[in-house]
Amino acid sequence: MTAQTLNDLLSAGVRGRTVLIRSDLNVPLDGSTVTDDGRIRASLPAIKELADAGAKVIVMAHLGRPKGEPDPTFSLAPVAARMSELLRAEVALADDVTGSSARQKAAALAEGEVLLVENVRFDARETSKDAAERQELAKEMAALAGADGAYVGDAFGAVHRAHASVADIASLLPAYQGPLVATELEVLTRLTESPERPYVVVLGGSKVSDKLAVIDNLLEKADTLLIGGGMLFTFLKAQGHEVGSSLLEEDQLDTVKGYLERSGKGAATIVLPTDIVMASGFAKDAEHEVLPVDALASGTHGDKAMGLDIGPATAQAYAAEVAGAKTVFWNGPMGVFEFPAFAEGTRAVAQGLTEATAAGGLSVVGGGDSAAAVRTLGFEDGQFGHISTGGGASLEYLEGKELPGVSALSGGKA
């Protein structure tokens, strides 16, 4: 069954109706300041369309990982403030998820007004493994919308979670797929079913274990896999290199050797760095030097040296490989980009993606740290074909897994 879309809902008419929309507002904070509002900006078009059409809009979202109870550290108050600035209209914030504050503010909403309820993960039932508990919370959420309410799922970053506000509620109200989710699925379908070639995948981040299934799947779909980030040291170790005190997952060495063997027998070509920026420790001002991969423990700091970025020769090679691709998917930074001294590998890959885009290719930045990196390093969103709002969801889709929040929108209440 094909999901109904936001346009279907707008065509049916929303004036005077209460519409619950699950958005992805899980943004980084520095105290009470939003440091990257990319997800807020991406979520606002659907919210504004509903408000402009006369709906009473109730937005649900999570922030961080509170432990099922209110925690001021994870309050959505800074998000409500930023939404108000961007919408140039007040976005009220309820003090709870479905309690007295949410009920009172929902009942008082006028046409075109927007209410954000507090972090849905302040209620332990949101993420409960007990389906009955999640359903109980979902019923309370649906009650906020009333008899003529509707639900829009637009939080792609959460669709891989079987949570109350993502999946359960879709069976209780007429459910519609938001534009963010629709766009993400369209792009990911192109990556998995009909990629233009050459198709290059860049994988970074800290751990191989986080990306086992996606590597396994993409070995049969992509042409080239470029490996960076902390996970590269497990690959280098599997090839027999010493890696100093760099991040290493000993328990994944056999798995990685299997990937390298498959690559050698005709699967996607796995490309590993030829040089690494090795540092005296994990610090912004750590002493560092560039060493070839066959001599990582032979430098100034010996076997205590820690790799924090791919080296300049590797960065140049990776950027060239990416720039020449017709399809590129990138998930995970190449190094500790938050430290300027170790950001050049990530910057080079990002630049390569912009060149692939300029040449007419499809470049996809796979959410999470990769999206944060390109913005931190000064790139504009428009320089890339698509910046995903959901890193984990993107990876699970590319692994071939079913996404509960997507399935729920296809089989929700009519």
Q: Annotated binding residue at 275? A: no
Domain boundaries, the chain: 6-183, 195-399
Q: How large is the average pLDDT for residues 366-382? A: 87
Q: Annotated binding residue at 193? A: no
Q: How far apart are CA 316 and CA 140, in angstroms?
A: 54
- The first and second tokens of residue 268, run together, are 């996607």
Q: Annotated binding residue at 225? A: no
Q: Which helix (H) or strand (E) is 52 found in, with range?
A: helix 38-52
Looking at 17, 22, 38, 39, which residue is catalytic? Answer: 39
Q: Is there a catalytic annotation at residue 99?
A: no
Q: How far apart are CA 26 and CA 55, in angstroms?
A: 24
**pLDDT over 60 (residue 414):** no
Average pLDDT along the chain: 94
CATH number assigned to the domain covering 195-399 = 3.40.50.1260
Q: How far apart are CA 86 and CA 112, in angstroms?
A: 15
Identical fold at 6-183 and 195-399? yes
**pLDDT over 50 (residue 222):** yes
Q: Annotated binding residue at 22? A: no
Q: Is there a catalytic annotation at residue 368?
A: yes
What per-residue confidence (pLDDT) applies to 369?
83
Looking at 230, 368, 405, 412, which residue is catalytic? Answer: 368
Of residues 137 and 209, the one with the higher pLDDT is 137
**DSSP states of 82-146 as a string?**
HHHHHHTS-EEE-SSSSSHHHHHHHHTPPTT-EEE-S-GGGSGGGG-S-HHHHHHHHHHHHHHH-
Looking at 103, 207, 257, 401, which residue is catalytic? Answer: 207
Q: Is the peptide bond before 198 cis (omega within 30 degrees of 0)?
A: yes
Q: Annotated binding residue at 369? A: yes
In one-letter notation, the amino acid at residue 337 is F
Q: Annotated binding residue at 370? A: yes
**pLDDT over 90 (residue 209):** no
Q: What is the pLDDT of residues 56-111, one digit of tens each?
A: 999 999 999 999 999 999 999 999 999 999 999 999 999 999 999 999 999 999 99
Q: Annotated binding residue at 367? A: yes
Q: How far apart are CA 301 and CA 298, in angstroms?
A: 8
- CATH fold for the domain made of 6-183: Rossmann fold (3.40.50)
Q: Annotated binding residue at 125? A: no
Tell me the whole-structure pTM to 2 decimals.
0.87
Looking at the DSSP bridge assignments, the partners of residue 401 are none
**pLDDT over 60 (residue 311):** yes
